[in-house]
Structure 1
């Protein structure tokens, strides 16, 4: 079975057992490591492997062709994207400014746009898509006015001397009371037994929790020179109860984010029933 997910610690931690033949009855995996912006585009174009990790923000474009697998992904609390600036600032200071984001089909981008519509009078001047690892240096050197950051940048932005203007997670959770939908596991309809895949992925999550040291070398090998303590913090933050099972709150968070975004014209309208259709 072919699968694509990111080299980030939460993904390698979750899929370690499945990728290493440790889940009974599961097929051998052919793994492609790819940034989520790449898999978002693959899914939108019907390309790439039959199983992929994409952003929840990309789901409305692909739900007709891919099913949402109710485990293995990333939702959570206290783990939202951050808006960073070089100097201390307020939301009003971003009016008419240039902001870098890691993708236009990311939950981070949707949260930012929904937050900006409420918080920045007059709006922003320009949104620039930039690889996430280049955003903090670009804010630091003044190339852009502010940056929206994800992943381990939550733990490292102080190293660049940057200031946190806003936490999109805090805003979302205060506004809705729901967790933040970040990364989804999807599988091509008709290409995979989705219920069986769900069992394999959930077993891989449970194995990871039961044997946390088993995946350590694998995680650090793909962690892009990330400090081991940062990798552990990353896993602790993004691998949680919703990774094992979306549950009612998980599905409601996804529905709420995507229906709000559709009303704002940020994503296409979609059939909500497809969120639950394996």
Structure 2
């Protein structure tokens, strides 16, 4: 029976899961793959739609009743946080800000960071539409993720804040972005962890094997940006969350609960 898997088409996910998706992991079942933005998978997971699913750490308080957090496969690290972009330096009070999802880690960090300068209006926008929208004046500011770190200057935009830098300076911890969940009662979490870790190991062993698959799904990113993306988001925390990664996730969710932004949860 096929394992239903939902991840983003971003290079870090396609790199990590290439071998598993293509039947190259010994003992792993066939995979029924769905590509979707994280805002879509956050909602789908709340409905129990997939066996394995990539979601935002910020969405975990609503999902851990039905899913178990795997300590591998996700996106967590340093120097990889969301950016707040504008067409010029400005205060956000009264601004309209485009965000990639209302339960994304990016938006949760933004709410914690912007507590003293709340914008007037938030609009949820697919992340690939945010930078053009800010550049064209549809939004006063945009909260961006992924490869936008490497390309926002092309739109004539300014980074008002690096929320990862802010988080790291404030906590000393890496930033927890995306998590992999396994559906309880359907997937053995320990087995799934080993499948994903072996898929990642195979990717590191032979990076060229998944190159065509990664580039074909990289939403028109050029190869140099794809390489930067993978190097930034696929790291030691992808292989094993470890004590530091778990501390980072608990710090984020603890602060969010204390601020009344999410239900309280302990990982």
After TM superposition, the score normalised by the length of structure 2 is 0.97
2:42 corresponds to which residue? 40
2:93 corresponds to which residue? 95
Query: Is structure 2 residue 138 aligned with structure 1 residue 143?
Result: yes
Q: How far did residue 45 of structure 1 move?
A: 2.1
Distance 2:88 2:174 in 1: 29
Q: How far did residue 224 of structure 1 move?
A: 1.0
Distance 1:101 1:204 in 2: 31
3-state SS in 2 of match to 1:139: helix
2:57 corresponds to which residue? 56
Q: Among residues 108, 113, 123, which one is paired with 1:110 in the alignment?
A: 108
Q: How far did residue 49 of structure 1 move?
A: 1.5
Q: 1:87-236 to 2 correspondence within 5 Å?
A: 87-89=88-90, 93-118=91-116, 120=117, 123-236=118-231
Q: How far did residue 265 of structure 1 move?
A: 1.7
3-state SS in 2 of match to 1:49: coil
1:237 corresponds to which residue? 232
1:79 corresponds to which residue? 80
Distance 1:28 1:43 in 2: 20
Distance 1:103 1:263 in 2: 21
CA deviations on 1:139-186 (whole Å, 9 max, x unpaired) are 111111111001111111001000111000000000001111011000
CA deviations on 1:227-248 (whole Å, 9 max, x unpaired) are 0110010000000000000000
Distance 2:127 2:261 in 1: 20
Runs of 5+ unmatched residues, structure 1: none
3-state SS in 2 of match to 1:243: helix
3-state SS in 2 of match to 1:248: helix
The runs of at least 4 consecutive aligned structure 1 residues that moved more than 2 Å come to: none
Runs of 5+ unmatched residues, structure 2: none
Q: How far did residue 43 of structure 1 move?
A: 1.0
Q: How far did residue 20 of structure 1 move?
A: 1.1
CA deviations on 1:60-97 (whole Å, 9 max, x unpaired) are 001011000110000010000000001133xxx11121
Query: Is structure 2 residue 19 aligned with structure 1 residue 21?
Result: no
